[in-house]
Amino acid sequence: MIFAIFLLKYNILYEVTIDGEVIGYITDKNEIEDEINNYIESKDKGVAFRNLEVETEYKPKFVSNKETNREEVLDKIKENISTTYTAYGITIDGNIQTYVSTEEEADKIVNDLQNEYKDKLALDIGVKQIFEKEVIETLDETTAVSKLKSENIDVKVAKLEEEAKQAEESKKEEESSKVVVAVRPISGGTITSRFGERSSIRSSAHTGLDLAAPSGTPIKAAASGTVIFSGTSGSYGKIVKIKCDNGYEMWYAHCSKLYVSVGQRVSAGDKIAAVGSTGNSTGPHLHFEIRKNGKALNPQNFM
C-alpha cells in the first residue's frame, strides 16, 4: 500500500548527464541511445564520420514533479558530436582544382578527361580524398568537368598549341631567312684564309673566306638577289655586293673585273665578276663574305 502511494507520488525517470552535468530527464534510455547511434552512423552526403566527444550517462531516478525534456536532451547531446566531412578533389599537376562528392564520380572524371586529351596533352590529373571539419562545397560531374576544362585544361592546351604555332612560325622564318648558297662562287679554288683568322696583313679578324684561283676566273652569284654595290671600296679593291631576297648580303671582293651594276637583278649562277688581286691582297683570290644586319658571318656555315 505504501509502495503504491510512493509510485503515485514519484516517477521513475532517467537523469541524463554530460561530463557530470545534468542536462535533463527522459523516460526511455534505449530510445535516446538508439537515436544518437543512428545519427552517428548515418551516411549523410559529405559526412565521413561522427564522434561523440563527451561522456554521457543515464541514471534512473525516483523524482517528483519533474518534467521530461527529451528533445532538449537530444539537441544537447548532438551539440557534442563532432562531424568530419569528406570530398574528393580532382588534382591537376598535384593541385586540387575542384571537388566532387564520391570517389566513383572522381574516378570517372579523371578517366574521361585522360581519354579525351591523350592526343593533345600529357595530363597529370588525379584524385585526392580530403577531410575537413566544415562542409566541403562539391560540384556535380558535369559542372566539375566544365570548370576543369575552362579554368585549367583548355588553358594548357591553348598554351601548348600557341607555343607549337610560334615554334613552327619561328622554324619557317629561320628556314626562309637562311642563306642558301646554291652555287659555289668559283669553280675549284683553294681556301687560303678562313673566317676569323688573324694575320699580319689585317688589323682585325678575317671577315670572310678567301678562295685562291687564277686571275680572271669567273665569279658567280652564289644566290639570287639584287646588286647594291659594284665598284672599288678601300682594302676590298673591286667588289660586288648583292643583297639576297631574305635580307642577307654576299660580298665578292678583290675582283679584277666587274660585270654587273647597281640595281641589277641576278640569279644564282650568273657571272658577276672575275678573280683578281685588287685592294689589300697578296695574290689573286676571291674574298667571299656573308653579312646579316651588318654582321659578318662564317660563309662555311652556309656552303
Q: pTM, whole model, 2 decimals?
A: 0.56
User: Distance between CA 259 and CA 198 in Å, rounded?
Assistant: 31
Contacts 24+ apart (CB under 8 A), 3-9: 6/62, 9/64
Domain positions in the chain: 2-79, 85-150, 190-301
> Taking a C-beta distance cutoff of 8 angstroms, is the pair 268, 222 a contact?
yes
pLDDT tens string 92-151: 999 999 999 999 999 999 999 999 999 888 889 999 999 999 999 999 999 999 999 999
Q: Strand 225-232 vs strand 11-18: parallel, antiparallel, or unpaired?
A: unpaired
Tell me: pLDDT of 290 over 90: yes
User: Is CATH 3.90.1570.10 what the domain over 190-301 is classified as, yes or no?
Assistant: no
pLDDT tens string 265-287: 999 999 999 999 999 999 999 99
3-class secondary-structure state, position 192:
strand
Q: What is the mean pLDDT of residues 59-68?
A: 84
